[in-house]
Amino acid sequence: MTLDRFIQLWTHRYHKSCHIFKAYFLGYSAAFHFLWRKLFFKKGKDLIGIVRTEHFGDIVAVEPISRYVRSLYPDAHIVWFVKPVFRELVANNPSVNEVFPEFCISERKALLSLGVFDKIFELQFRNNNYCPKCQVFKENPIAQQRNINVYNYFNYGNLLEVFAQSGDLIAPNAVFPADDQPKLYLTDDHRKKVEKLALTKPYLVLHCQSNYILKDWPADKWNQLVAWMAEKYDYQMVEVGLKSNLTVATDKYQNLCGQLSILETAEVIRNAAFFIGLDSGPSHLANAVGTYGMILMGSLNDFPTYNPYSGGYGRQDNAVFIRQEGEVCANLSFDFVQNKIEAVLDHSAHGV
């Protein structure tokens, strides 16, 4: 072994060990925090945890579970476990008493191993319950028992139904028994931030790039779509997301990528006439705020015609899925997508 390789190896081990030590320290500290809280609970009051730490579209999709758990345990102290970057999605949820910003899975394992919580609803399965620094998975016994995993989860329904089953809140392959329309809890701060943008109305919101290449539609086709809509319609077009890969030359287009928080993005979408995008986080925001959606979707791995949404998008009362069975999103032709969007914009009562 060379000296450089030796140093790299032990540097990695040092950082990993420090990370694990911090995780367990935080986990045991959190256990003390919750034990202290329980000392002041009224007799019979439960401490309940809901675990859905990522991704942000999934967190939005399972929001109805917070209301359902609250209906089952009206007097409980409900804690939502989430990654800090997504804390804003649950911070203002009136069904949640406390948000636990999770450092990593090892922290949660340490905390839950002490039996402080009276009930835990894990809305995750092994494949999306992993810390790359600790290199640790957190198993969900319910998901294991029901054989729910990353390779088959859409065989169990939409995201809300899948994660409700993973948390043992509903029976296998059951329909969610309560209001399944996701909600967001926007504040005046979000509204004021978007008002300052002074976006020209009416406008369409575009989301053109997901976090998974198999869900994407090529940038050159998006460029062509924007140019066509700019020529034919009076809508402004506003792109949201982390970053843009478009090269657009029209004053009807505005790039807001990377400039907004998640809930500020939701407020932009809420004020839009339409949302046109992919199966990704912003489409779940659009579903939650009630903006009519045109969603470009294709087959995904072993799921030729999956449906991730509940509520208005899930029933396609408030959305149209632009898809062809067996084709990945990238293979959707421009003409096919154009015709689907044209049908909505020309004939919808919301059109200009």
Q: b/e per residue, 87-124, with b = 16+ CB within 10 A?
A: bbbbbebebbeebbebbbbbbbbbbbeeebbebbbbbb
Q: Tens place of pLDDT for every residue, the chain, 352 residues?
A: 787 776 677 677 778 999 999 999 999 999 999 999 999 999 999 999 999 999 999 999 999 999 999 999 999 999 999 999 999 999 999 999 999 999 999 999 999 999 999 999 999 987 778 888 888 888 899 999 999 999 999 999 999 999 999 999 999 989 999 999 999 999 999 999 999 999 999 999 999 999 888 899 999 999 999 999 999 999 999 999 999 999 998 999 999 999 999 999 999 999 999 999 999 999 999 999 999 999 999 998 889 889 999 999 999 999 999 999 889 999 999 999 999 999 999 976 444 4
Number of separate domains in the chain: 2
Q: Are 306 and 172 in contact (CB under 8 A)?
A: no
Closest CA to 251 of 281, 286, 227, 279: 227
**Same domain, yes or no: 117 and 210:** no
- Examine residue 273 and state whether it is found in any structural domain, yes or no: yes
For the record, the structure tokens of 351 come out as: 């059109």
**Same domain, yes or no: 149 and 203:** no
**Same domain, yes or no: 237 and 192:** yes
Between the alpha carbon of residue 182 and those of residues 58, 67, 123, 237, 280, the distances in Å are: 11, 10, 15, 25, 15
Neighbours of 196 (CB within 10 A): 8
Looking at 99, 131, 166, the residue that finishes a domain is 166
Q: What is the pTM assigned to this prediction?
A: 0.95
Looking at 166, 197, 231, the residue that finishes a domain is 166
Per residue in 18-76, pLDDT (tens digit) is 999 999 999 999 999 999 999 999 999 999 999 999 999 999 999 999 999 999 999 99
Rounded-to-integer distance, Cα 181 and Cα 175, Å: 13
**Same domain, yes or no: 127 and 262:** no
**Same domain, yes or no: 133 and 213:** no
Name the residue range of residue 88's domain: 3-166
DSSP symbol at 135 = T
Each as own residue / partner, the long-range contacts of residues 139-145 (CB below 8 Å, 24 or more positions apart, any chain) are 140/166, 142/166, 142/167, 142/168
- Examine residue 275 and state whether it is found in any structural domain, yes or no: yes
pLDDT (0 to 100) of residue 351: 43
CATH of the domain at 283: 3.40.50.2000
**Same domain, yes or no: 67 and 149:** yes
**Same domain, yes or no: 199 and 160:** no
pLDDT (0 to 100) of residue 301: 86
- Examine residue 172 and state whether it is found in any structural domain, yes or no: no
**Same domain, yes or no: 27 and 153:** yes
Q: Are 275 and 207 in contact (CB under 8 A)?
A: yes
- Examine residue 159 and state whether it is found in any structural domain, yes or no: yes
CATH of the domain at 81: 3.40.50
For the record, the structure tokens of 306 come out as: 């999956």
Q: Is 333 left (phi over 0), alpha (psi -120 to 50) or beta?
A: beta
**Same domain, yes or no: 218 and 95:** no
Closest CA to 204 of 258, 244, 253, 256: 253
For the record, the structure tokens of 289 come out as: 């705020």
Looking at 166, 196, 229, the residue that finishes a domain is 166
DSSP symbol at 161 = H
**Same domain, yes or no: 243 and 160:** no
Where helices occur in the chain by DSSP H, the ranges are 3-38, 56-61, 63-72, 88-91, 105-112, 141-145, 159-166, 188-197, 219-232, 262-270, 281-289, 311-314, 334-347
Q: Is 22 left (phi over 0), alpha (psi -120 to 50) or beta?
A: alpha
**Same domain, yes or no: 261 and 152:** no
Q: Sheet with 236-239: list strands edge to edge.
A: 253-255, 236-239, 203-206, 274-278, 293-296, 319-322
Collapsing DSSP to helix, strand or coil, 90 comes out as: helix
**Same domain, yes or no: 105 and 209:** no
As a 3-state breakdown, the chain gives helix, strand, coil percent values, each rounded to 5, of: 45, 15, 45
- Examine residue 182 and state whether it is found in any structural domain, yes or no: no
pLDDT (0 to 100) of residue 15: 81
Per residue in 121-140, pLDDT (tens digit) is 999 987 778 888 888 888 89
DSSP symbol at 128 = G
- Examine residue 181 and state whether it is found in any structural domain, yes or no: no
- Examine residue 177 and state whether it is found in any structural domain, yes or no: no
Q: Determine phi and psi for 204, rounding to 5 degrees.
A: -105, 145
- Examine residue 26 and state whether it is found in any structural domain, yes or no: yes
